[in-house]
């Protein structure tokens, strides 16, 4: 009769708990001392002293080991506490601190390992000497994926004064951290001056000074249109003054993000979805700062997240909280279903910004009909990340027939992408196929250009 799997599991669980929580193991110092006894015993036999040196040396090691075993600080004499920030940005360094409290009354050498989630960069053990009282240590790591992650245990291995034995244990410390997309571009915009915009360290188009909505009265400069001179204000101030107009506020911007299989492809240690989400949050911040309403829809084979349009920078936090942990699904995306859902939900004319992959645009048969129908009531902007591998293969040197064939196929794919762009442009739908490092800059510029010509 065999033992049941439940009993085997309990036994294994007990052994795992003993090894992780109440185990004592020798240090390198003890192993070296034991190995050093071999040449000493050999020397004693060669000099005719027999077992005298052997027993004397090993007795000293045994006595020292027993003393060290007894004097090792107990687990109850130590306590650990992790100080973890509530949130961090994807790929950015995050500092984590650990407070160690030693109540044993003696110096304690330790080696600490944190129970990092798999998506965080491993830092290795942290070694040091723990004085009596409280000691604070810190280390730096970074997250490789967005989402919410749990920190469970702190693993500590410590030794006493002599340092012949280690005691190891794990200390429960349940905490969580939210990993948001890289918001450096968003913060850069929110911290920039109102009359200019800086994204990814680059200054892009200025805010439009022309529009249909009155904004302010300011002093006239030579480049201003003389038709907008405010003669009443000029007479009062005895200086030439002009009216300043801006594009009408309160327009609706709907951001649609593809979360299908192709958006999980990595580009420079970030997925296409990560890059698209960062660009989407930046353009959302720009639109909300300019007084427009922003909504968001994320989809794969079904609608994953829908946020109705809202206004104000507080709404940006709502969008971020709902989208920071969305993942790409290992299924083919269905943009037609998402656009149909959006068409039912959003009746007011809006700018629909769709982040997807060009391959989805090319192979989706029903997408064209939905785009044609939606362009009558909405302004569409389709965005795609250019494939760097396809670009390299289309410009490779043709050293042999195989490379010539590969190059011709890559150029064919490139022509298909351009043909789709031209077809959509002819129908009044703007399509942008840009490299990943230019996506944020391009989409913000496109939005501001649409606002400046009041196309909405």
Residue 36 CA to residue 134 CA, distance in Å, equals 37
Residue 322: CA count within 13 A, CB half-sphere: 17
Residue 279 CA to residue 436 CA, distance in Å, equals 10
Backbone angles phi, psi at 413, to 5 degrees: -65, -40
- Are the CB atoms for 267 and 436 separated by under 8 Å? yes
Which of the four pLDDT bands, split at 50, 70 and 90, describes residue 322?
very high
pLDDT digits (tens, 9 = 90+) for 339-367: 889 988 888 889 999 998 888 777 766 67
Token pair of 57 as six digits:
């040396």
Token pair of 33 as six digits:
């001392």
**Residue 66 confidence (pLDDT) above 60:** yes
In this prediction, residue 211 carries a pLDDT of: 54
Query: Which 8-state DSSP code applies to residue 229?
Result: B
pLDDT digits (tens, 9 = 90+) for 130-163: 888 899 999 999 999 999 999 999 999 998 888 8
Q: Which residues pair with 272 in a beta bridge?
A: none
Nearest to 57 by CA among 39, 72, 69: 39
Per-chain mean pLDDT for the chain: 83
Q: What is the DSSP string of 38-68?
A: HHHHHHHHHTT-TTHHHHHHHHHHHHHHHHH
Considering only CA atoms, give the Rg of the chain.
33
Q: What is the DSSP string of 115-132?
A: ---TTBPP---EEEEEPS
To the nearest 10 degrees (0 to 180), the angle between helices 367-374 and 335-345 is 20
Residue 211 CA to residue 103 CA, distance in Å, equals 70
Percent of the chain past pLDDT 70, that is, above it, reads 85
Nearest to 117 by CA among 93, 70, 87, 153: 153
Nearest to 125 by CA among 99, 154, 150: 154
* Average of per-residue pLDDT across 72-81: 90
Query: Other CB atoms closer than 10 Å to residue 389's CB: what's the count?
Result: 10
Percent of the chain past pLDDT 90, that is, above it, reads 28
pLDDT digits (tens, 9 = 90+) for 218-269: 888 887 778 888 888 888 888 888 887 765 667 899 999 999 998 988 887 8
In this prediction, residue 212 carries a pLDDT of: 57
């Amino acid at each position: 009769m065999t033992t049941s799997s439940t009993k085997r599991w309990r036994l294994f669980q007990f052994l795992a708990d003993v090894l992780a929580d109440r185990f004592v193991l020798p240090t390198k110092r003890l192993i070296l001392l034991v190995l050093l006894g071999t040449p000493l015993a050999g020397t004693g036999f060669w000099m005719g002293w027999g077992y005298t040196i052997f027993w004397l040396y090993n007795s000293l090691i045994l006595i020292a080991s027993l003393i060290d075993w007894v004097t090792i600080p107990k687990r109850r004499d130590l306590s650990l506490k992790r100080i973890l920030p509530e949130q961090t940005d994807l790929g950015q360094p995050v500092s984590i601190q650990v407070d160690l409290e030693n109540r044993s009354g003696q110096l304690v050498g330790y080696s600490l390992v944190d129970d990092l989630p798999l998506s965080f960069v491993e830092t290795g053990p942290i070694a040091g000497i723990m004085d009596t009282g409280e000691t604070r240590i810190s280390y730096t790591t970074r997250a490789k994926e967005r989402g919410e992650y749990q920190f469970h245990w702190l693993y500590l291995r410590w030794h006493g004064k002599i340092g012949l034995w280690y005691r190891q244990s794990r200390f429960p410390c349940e905490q969580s951290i939210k990993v948001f997309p890289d918001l450096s571009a968003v913060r850069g915009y929110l911290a920039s001056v109102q009359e200019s915009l800086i994204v990814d360290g680059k200054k892009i188009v200025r805010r439009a000074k022309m529009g249909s909505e009155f904004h302010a009265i300011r002093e006239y400069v030579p480049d201003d249109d003389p038709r907008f001179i405010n003669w009443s204000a000029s007479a009062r101030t005895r200086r030439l003054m002009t009216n300043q107009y801006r594009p009408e506020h309160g327009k609706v911007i709907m951001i649609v993000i593809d979360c299908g299989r192709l958006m999980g492809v990595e580009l420079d240690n970030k997925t296409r979805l990560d890059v698209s989400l960062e660009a989407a949050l930046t353009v959302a911040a720009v639109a909300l700062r300019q007084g427009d309403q922003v909504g968001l829809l994320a989809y794969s084979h079904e609608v994953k997240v829908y946020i109705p349009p809202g206004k104000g920078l507080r709404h940006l936090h709502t969008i971020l909280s709902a989208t920071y942990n969305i993942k790409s699904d290992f299924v083919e995306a269905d943009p037609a279903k998402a656009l149909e859902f959006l068409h039912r939900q959003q009746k007011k004319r809006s700018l629909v910004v769709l982040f997807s992959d060009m391959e989805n645009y090319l192979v989706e048969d029903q997408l064209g009909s939905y785009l044609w129908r939606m362009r009558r009531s909405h302004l569409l902007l389709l965005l795609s990340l250019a494939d760097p591998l396809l670009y390299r293969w289309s410009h490779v040197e043709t050293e042999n027939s195989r490379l010539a064939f590969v190059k011709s196929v890559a150029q064919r794919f490139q022509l298909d992408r351009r043909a789709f762009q031209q077809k959509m442009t002819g129908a009044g739908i703007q399509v942008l196929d840009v490299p990943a490092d230019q996506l944020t800059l391009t989409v913000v510029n496109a939005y501001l250009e649409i606002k400046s010509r009041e196309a909405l």
